[in-house]
Amino acid sequence: MYVTRPYLAGNEQYLAQIDKLVKSHAMHGSESLCKLLRYLAEHALRHPGVPPKEYQIATEVYGRTTDFDPQYDSTIRVQAGRLRLKMTEYYATEGAEDPILVELPKGTYLLSFHHRGQEADKLHPIPHHTYSSAVRADAVKEAQVAPRLWTTAVIVLCILLLAALAVIGGLTARNSGAANPAPTVSAAPALRTFWKAFVSEPEEPWVIFSNGAFVGRPETGMRYFNSELDSHSLILDHYTGVGEVLAVHELDRLFDSLQRTVRVKRGSLFTLDDAEGNNLIFVGSPAENLTLRDVPNTREFVFQRPNSGERKGDLFIANVHPQAGEPKAFYATPGNLLLAEDYAVVGLVRGLNPGRRIMILAGTTTIGTQAAVQFVCRQSSVEELLLRLSVSPGGTPDPFEALLRVRVTRGVPVETQLVSIRKEAS
């Protein structure tokens, strides 16, 4: 628990906390976010209670020109969202015991500072420059009780009247427009461009999610099927990871915004006949989504398992043609440690029918798979991908393969970075 009033020791302690955040492992390598955090902190301390404008941040922090328009450029909102994730990650790990908490509430760019471990009003933070006046105000409360009670009664009656009118209006609108549901929010142009091949055909695309082969029972314990030890008659093939579940939900929401539907099928029930005439989206790696072994797949970033060495049997992504400075293999955090890092692949390849496309979204773990799907369902990351692929607005992406690095905190993908990309040879 923490209090929402400022720490009264002075601004130096707040700035010291900002320094800890900037120098933390969570913020390492994120210079633009560190710059944004320092700017917001200084603004909050110099102008208590006054949030900076998005235009102000764009021009003063990121050097945007004076014609910057936040309605058409989401850079600042994206950066603020990334900063919130970084701060959440920091306080969930190395900053878990810090006495001072720094927050950037959603919907505002006004940074706030709180002190952990004391009881206080949980509703409204008291700005530092008004704290003493708030204390002095207690001395005149009694003289103001009667007028306040009268004013409060009037306000309450007004609120009740407005609420009643709102309910009546809502019921009227519901009765008159029950057959006309609210329109779906339309997808951003970048998302429409990226998924153009999957929405331009009359047939709905298929989403095939992985469901590995297990043996055992949920109530007594389950493990992966081992062909050398287990009978095929004992296989349970109706379980999948949490990442795949969330990924299918994310894709469903995306295609709803694209005014299209998808067909969802688990990998063990998918056949090559299904693959012949449809655009396909595979969720999960060939280690569990076994049909991927029989259809066109990625060739530059390939899922493999080593037969020897310290990571024997661990799924990794092989970099078939590493470029300068790139490793030949990408491994997630070892299985005996808490998952903190994973790698994933986003691949667009030609289908069995050359006129169709196959999208492969897979990590070496279920969390990496979730992150890969989120990456291609969000405007900011898709815009980055289209830029790297040199796809013009309204164009259609050619086949490519992209490698993603995923940072994980408490089983949640908190940051996904585009590490490398390969375009189909002309």
Q: What is the pLDDT of residues 375-388, one digit of tens each?
A: 999 999 999 999 99
pLDDT of residue 169: 54
- Model confidence at 133: pLDDT above 70: no
How much is the mean pLDDT over the chain? 81
Residue 413, classified by CB atoms within 10 Å of its CB into exposed (0-12), middle (13-18) or buried (19+), is: buried
Side chain identity, residue 306 = P
Neighbours of 222 (CB within 10 A): 13
Spatial distance between the Cα atoms of 370 and 241, rounded to a whole number of angstroms: 9
State phi, psi for 277 to the nearest 5 degrees: -115, 20
HSE of 81 in the Cβ direction (CA atoms, 13 Å)? 11
Q: Taking the domains of the chain in order of start, what are their residue ranges?
A: 2-126, 189-423
pLDDT of residue 185: 61
Nearest residue to 82 via CA among 17, 37, 25: 37
- Model confidence at 101: pLDDT above 70: yes
Mean pLDDT value across residues 66-95: 85
Fold of the domain spanning 189-423: Chitobiase; domain 2 (3.30.379)
